[in-house]
């Protein structure tokens, strides 16, 4: 187990360097100069542009910029934004916001998704099952921004039940609506996945054995069935956390949540290499670690899986 | 059959429209309380703002967001009267030129204080300008000081600065200083209204970076806090002595991710002023907001500019460009595609600017397909019989570019297509490197409200804003002469002559002037008044007293 983890951690290094290099190159390969763009339609002063480019190291050859950037990164220095702020400050302001939103979305996704899936799976082929299938199909086919605008229009503008935007991102009650919208799509997938594995595992040998032993139904479903059915669901949830953290741009935009998605979006608009690479670096780390945790979780769920 | 069907559809649409107006009527009734009640002199206004791109240093706000905050914290020597563009003295008692407008004497109103209690003196201005102009200090607006003698010493085209002071700035006493310019500029006083000319307190120079996070100014509001990407707070400065004292207790500038989010907060009164109605609500906002809807023109113009370095336009007969201009149905496009967010342009100079003459371009901006066709034919036609208009796809330019192209194509038979660049950076890149294939989208917001700003700074052969390669000796000479004129009136008149010259030479095709489509909440007392730069005059906004 220890050796397995160590090997996985070592494998992360080339993945990490590769992804950051690709992102770095992609940001710099785009046409146009972000410094020049600060002047907009107005004429830029070449001397000042040159001076600013020098300030941000953009006048160096690309390989040197990358080496410098990585060198600083290992000392915990993520560089500065064009506005002169530390990228690490910007990230430490926005990551907690996104993490809270992710947590809300995750909880909704797990409870509603697995609940619905289990409910439908146990009644496979019956009206309840069909109902859940149709419901999830509808949710999957609606784009998230439609869902977001619709939810806000109905719940905030028309009914006035909630504030239309998140005013204070530390208030979990306010994060409920964006969290719900963010969770909807994945929730539908989780429900479908759970339903299918439940329906399949119901016919498994060990289920028949458990029933033949005369175990109470609660134990059969709650322990034998649920635990065995969770493996694909956990895999999905694991990748989903990464998706939530990185892919909440649309939801964050609709509900005015100042999270990482927005940070990244604004940075992309301004071509702020330091912020983009910094945020993506953290994404890569998060996803690598979550993948490892998911793999380790398999062993907990299914004792037959052993890592050596 | 088909005809009958569409008639029915139109009838249906009419009913919906009626229902909507009826709804709007109701809203209006409930809204008419805008002027009722009492204003609270200490009420706090909440206004929309995106995160400023740069630290809050006076010469470091090229974009509107940082500038919006800076203008509340700093007061310059002069300001402009909204509507007329006339000069109003703020921190200056007088700004007077010598005989040929090359040396200007500034007298300050004595006894002005910065928010930290120190006195505003000549030194505060001179030090500020010297610091801001210095190339080392990386201020995006540093080139604003280029008229001053000695600018090249602190801001050389290449290499390190030779001095840290401009020789053209001389302190006479605590409240008097002189500015020597490299040439004559009769409207120099007008330039002084821009943010970059603000004074800076002693403490700024000790740590400019820290001061950029926590600015201390001499303006109507004092800075309180900056919670990045969330909120910037400014509060009324009680010791303020200027003519534009704040009529509210302060402003909370709130950050929004999207125009949609801001708009929904405005409608629920969580936000008192928004920058721009989201495109999705442009057709309905007047019904939604009733008399709280704001529809104000400001001094900016959008045009399409031929790239004169291309084969196509190198030796073009100006008649062809005039023809193209007359092939554009500005009235219809501004009303339909642009939802009334712009008004048709009839001049190179935007309305509200001193020297703007209604209909200055005469027939050239009128839609007349027959005449357009004739002019293009007389001028020898468009080479290749095809033009393209370059624009950036990351802003909503495509709809109007398509509409303009459509109009040109229909009226003249000249093929016209949009040339889309993925984002603004790529668009600028192509313009700066002279890689535009045919024509490009150009925009210009006023720097100072004198017509020279819309001509000399855009179409002068050596003007930095001239990226099309346009060059007209006659115009350059006239502009140089106009700048040296004894009085502003003469200058303005000469530039009006120059505009007629441009009309015959067509360096660009002006399309329309910009408007602000915005709104205010129910908490605002009276209607918000706008300045010519397209931002509200925040000091005049009043907040209703709570009942």
- CB-nearest to A48 from B135, B432, B444 is B135
| Domain-located, residue B104 | yes
CA distance A39 to B140: 7
**Is A48 within 8 Å of B267 when comparing Cβ atoms?**
no
**Is A84 within 8 Å of B463 when comparing Cβ atoms?**
no
The full DSSP string for B305-363 is: EE-TTSHHHHT--HHHHHHHHHT--HHHHHHTTTTTSEEE--SSSPTTSBT--TTTTGG
Q: Say whether both B308 and B196 belong to one domain.
A: no
| Domain-located, residue B138 | yes
**Is B257 within 8 Å of A152 when comparing Cβ atoms?**
no
Q: Provide the total of helices (H) and of strands (E) in chain A, helices listed first.
A: 15, 0
**Is A47 within 8 Å of B63 when comparing Cβ atoms?**
no
- Coil, strand, or helix at residue B225? strand
CA distance B220 to B7: 58
Tell me which chain B residues have a C-beta less than 8 angstroms from the C-beta of A156: 264, 268
**Is B261 within 8 Å of A254 when comparing Cβ atoms?**
yes
CB burial class (10 A; 0-12, 13-18, 19+) of residue A158? exposed
With CA atoms as reference, the chain B residue closest to A161 would be B268
- pLDDT of B32 reads 52
Out of B167, B201, B235, pick the residue that ends a domain: B201
Residue B99: domain span: 76-201
The sign of the CA dihedral B96, B200, B158, B426 is negative
The sign of the CA dihedral A102, A106, A107, A109 is positive
For all residues of chain A together, what is the average pLDDT?
Answer: 86
Distance from CA of B83 to the nearest CA of A (A): 24
Distance from CA of B97 to the nearest CA of A (A): 27
Q: Kindly state the tokens that stand for B407.
A: 């109009």
CATH number at residue B152: 3.90.76.10
Question: Which site among A28, A30, A32 would you substitute to test the B interface, given the most B Cβ atoms closer than 10 Å to its Cβ?
Answer: A32
Do the strands B415-421 and B386-392 form a parallel or antiparallel pair, or are they unpaired? Answer: parallel
User: Is the Cβ–Cβ distance between A202 and A225 less than 8 Å?
Assistant: yes
Tell me which chain B residues have a C-beta less than 8 angstroms from the C-beta of A30: 425-426
Instruction: Please report the number of interchain residue pairs, chain A to chain B, with beta-carbon separation below 8 angstroms.
Output: 138
| Domain-located, residue B380 | yes
Q: Which of A236-250, B364-378, B418-432, B525-539 has the highest mean pLDDT?
A: B364-378
| Domain-located, residue B429 | yes
| Domain-located, residue B544 | no
Distance from CA of B178 to the nearest CA of A (A): 26
Query: With bands split at pLDDT 50, 70 and 90, how would you rate the model's confidence at B410?
Result: very high
Could you report the per-residue pLDDT of B80-92, keeping only the tens digit for each? Answer: 887 777 899 999 9
- CB-nearest to A82 from B53, B229, B423 is B53
- CB-nearest to B428 from A32, A52, A83 is A32
Count of domains forming chain B: 2
- pLDDT of B547 reads 66
Query: φ and ψ at B13, to 5 degrees?
Result: -60, -40
Could you report the per-residue pLDDT of A143-195, keeping only the tens digit for each? Answer: 888 888 888 888 877 787 877 788 777 788 888 888 989 999 899 999 999 99
Query: Percentage helix, strand, coil, to 5, in chain A?
Result: 75, 0, 25
Tell me which chain A residues have a C-beta less than 8 angstroms from the C-beta of B65: none
Residue that the structure tokens 């505009």 belong to: B499
Tell me which chain B residues have a C-beta less than 8 angstroms from the C-beta of A41: 442-445
CATH number at residue B435: 3.10.105.10
Mean pLDDT across A3-14: 88
Could you report the per-residue pLDDT of A69-107, keeping only the tens digit for each? Answer: 888 888 888 888 887 788 888 888 888 888 899 999 999
CA distance B449 to B187: 10
With CA atoms as reference, the chain B residue closest to A153 would be B264
Q: Kindly state the tokens that stand for B196.
A: 């970059």
State percent of chain B over pLDDT 70. 94
Question: Which site among A33, A35, A38, A43 would you substitute to test the B interface, given the most B Cβ atoms closer than 10 Å to its Cβ?
Answer: A43
pTM of the model: 0.83
Of B474, B448, B470, nearest to B459 by C-alpha is B470
Q: Does A168 touch chain B (CB under 8 A)?
A: no
Query: With bands split at pLDDT 50, 70 and 90, how would you rate the model's confidence at B20?
Result: very low
Domains of chain A: 17-73 (no CATH), 91-307 (1.10.3720.10)
**Is A39 within 8 Å of B425 when comparing Cβ atoms?**
no
| Domain-located, residue B370 | yes
Q: Say whether both B318 and B456 belong to one domain.
A: yes
CA distance B127 to B205: 9
| Domain-located, residue B123 | yes
Q: Which of B2-11, B60-69, B303-312 has the highest mean pLDDT?
A: B303-312
- CB-nearest to B140 from A48, A90, A156 is A48
CA distance A41 to B217: 28
CA distance B33 to A97: 39
Residue B213 has pLDDT above 90, yes or no: yes
Q: Say whether both B194 and B305 belong to one domain.
A: no
- Coil, strand, or helix at residue B518? strand
Residue that the structure tokens 């052993």 belong to: A306
| Domain-located, residue B286 | no
User: Is the Cβ–Cβ distance between A119 and A128 less than 8 Å?
Assistant: yes
Q: Kindly state the tokens that stand for A196.
A: 């299918």
């Amino acid at each position: 187990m220890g050796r397995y983890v160590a090997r996985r951690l070592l494998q992360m290094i080339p993945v990490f360097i590769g992804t950051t290099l690709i992102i770095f190159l992609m940001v710099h390969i785009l046409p146009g100069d972000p410094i020049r763009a600060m002047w907009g339609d107005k004429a830029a002063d070449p001397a000042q542009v040159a001076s600013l480019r020098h300030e941000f190291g953009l006048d160096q050859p690309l390989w040197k910029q990358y080496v410098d950037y990585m060198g600083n990164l290992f000392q915990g220095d993520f560089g500065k934004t064009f506005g002169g702020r530390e990228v690490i400050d910007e990230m430490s302001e926005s990551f907690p916001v996104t993490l809270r939103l992710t947590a809300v979305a995750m909880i909704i996704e797990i409870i509603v998704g697995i609940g619905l899936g289990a409910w439908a799976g146990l009644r496979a082929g019956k009206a309840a099952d069909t109902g859940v299938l149709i419901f999830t199909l509808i949710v999957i086919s609606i784009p998230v921004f439609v869902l977001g605008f619709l939810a806000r229009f109905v719940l905030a503008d028309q009914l006035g039940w909630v504030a239309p935007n998140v005013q204070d991102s530390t208030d979990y009650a306010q994060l409920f609506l964006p969290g719900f919208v963010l969770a909807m799509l994945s929730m539908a997938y989780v429900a479908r996945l759970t339903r299918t594995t439940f329906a399949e595992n119901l016919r498994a040998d060990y289920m028949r054995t458990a029933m033949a032993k005369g175990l109470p139904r609660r134990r059969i479903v709650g322990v034998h069935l649920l635990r065995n059915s969770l493996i694909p669901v956990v895999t999905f949830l694991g990748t989903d956390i990464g998706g939530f953290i990185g892919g909440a741009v649309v939801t964050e935009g609709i509900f005015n949540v100042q999270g990482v998605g927005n940070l990244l979006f604004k940075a992309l608009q301004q071509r702020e290499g330091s912020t983009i690479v910094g945020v993506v670096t953290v994404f890569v780390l998060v996803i690598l670690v979550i993948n490892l945790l998911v793999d380790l979780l398999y062993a907990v769920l299914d004792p037959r899986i052993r890592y050596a | 059959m088909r005809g009958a069907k569409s008639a029915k559809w139109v009838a249906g649409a009419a009913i919906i429209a009626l229902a909507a107006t009826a709804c709007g009527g109701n809203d209006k009734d409930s809204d008419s309380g805008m002027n009722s009640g009492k204003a609270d002199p200490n009420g706090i206004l909440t206004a929309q703002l995106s995160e400023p791109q740069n630290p809050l240093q006076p010469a470091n706000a090229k974009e509107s967001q940082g500038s919006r905050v800076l203008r509340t914290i700093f007061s310059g020597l002069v300001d402009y009267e909204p509507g007329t563009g006339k000069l109003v003295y703020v921190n200056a008692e007088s700004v007077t030129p010598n005989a040929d407008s090359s040396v200007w004497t500034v007298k300050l109103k004595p006894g002005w204080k910065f928010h930290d209690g120190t006195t505003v003196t000549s030194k505060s201005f001179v030090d500020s300008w010297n610091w801001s102009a210095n190339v080392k200090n990386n201020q995006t607006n540093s080139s604003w000081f280029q008229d001053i003698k000695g600018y090249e010493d602190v801001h050389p085209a290449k290499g390190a600065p030779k001095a840290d002071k401009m020789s053209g700035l001389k302190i006479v006493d605590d409240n008097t200083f002189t500015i020597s310019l490299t040439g004559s500029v009769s409207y120099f006083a007008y330039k002084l209204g821009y943010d970059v000319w603000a004074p800076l307190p002693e403490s700024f120079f000790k740590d400019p970076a820290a001061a950029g996070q926590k600015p201390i100014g001499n303006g109507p509001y004092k800075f309180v806090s900056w919670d990045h990407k969330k909120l910037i707070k400014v509060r009324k400065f009680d010791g303020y002595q200027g003519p534009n004292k704040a009529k509210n207790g302060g402003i909370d500038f709130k950050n929004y991710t999207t125009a949609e989010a801001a708009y929904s907060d405005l409608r629920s009164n969580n936000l008192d002023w928004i920058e721009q109605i989201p495109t999705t609500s442009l057709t309905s906002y007047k019904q939604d907001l009733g008399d709280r809807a704001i529809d104000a023109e400001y001094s900016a113009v959008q045009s399409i500019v031929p790239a004169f370095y291309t084969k196509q336009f190198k030796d073009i007969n100006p008649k062809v460009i005039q023809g193209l201009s007359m092939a554009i149905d500005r009235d219809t496009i501004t009303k339909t595609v642009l939802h009334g967010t712009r008004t048709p342009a009839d001049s190179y100079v935007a309305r509200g600017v001193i020297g703007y003459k209604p209909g200055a371009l005469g027939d050239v901006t009128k839609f007349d397909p027959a005449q357009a066709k004739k002019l293009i034919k007389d001028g020898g036609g468009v080479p290749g019989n095809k033009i393209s208009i370059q624009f950036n796809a990351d802003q909503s330019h495509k709809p109007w570019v398509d509409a303009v192209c459509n109009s040109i194509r229909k009226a003249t038979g000249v093929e016209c297509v949009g040339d889309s660049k993925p984002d603004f950076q790529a668009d600028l890149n192509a313009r700066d490197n002279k890689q535009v294939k045919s024509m490009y989208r150009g925009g210009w917001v006023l720097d100072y409200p004198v017509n020279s700003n819309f001509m000399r700074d855009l179409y002068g052969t050596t003007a930095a804003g001239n990226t099309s390669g346009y060059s007209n000796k006659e115009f350059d000479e006239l502009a140089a002469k106009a700048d040296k004129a004894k009085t502003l009136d003469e200058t303005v008149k000469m530039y009006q002559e120059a505009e007629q010259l441009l009309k015959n030479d067509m360096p660009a095709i002006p399309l329309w002037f910009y408007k602000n489509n915005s709104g205010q909440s129910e908490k605002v007392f009276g209607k918000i008044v706008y300045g010519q730069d397209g931002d509200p005059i925040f000091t005049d906004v009043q907040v209703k007293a709570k009942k």
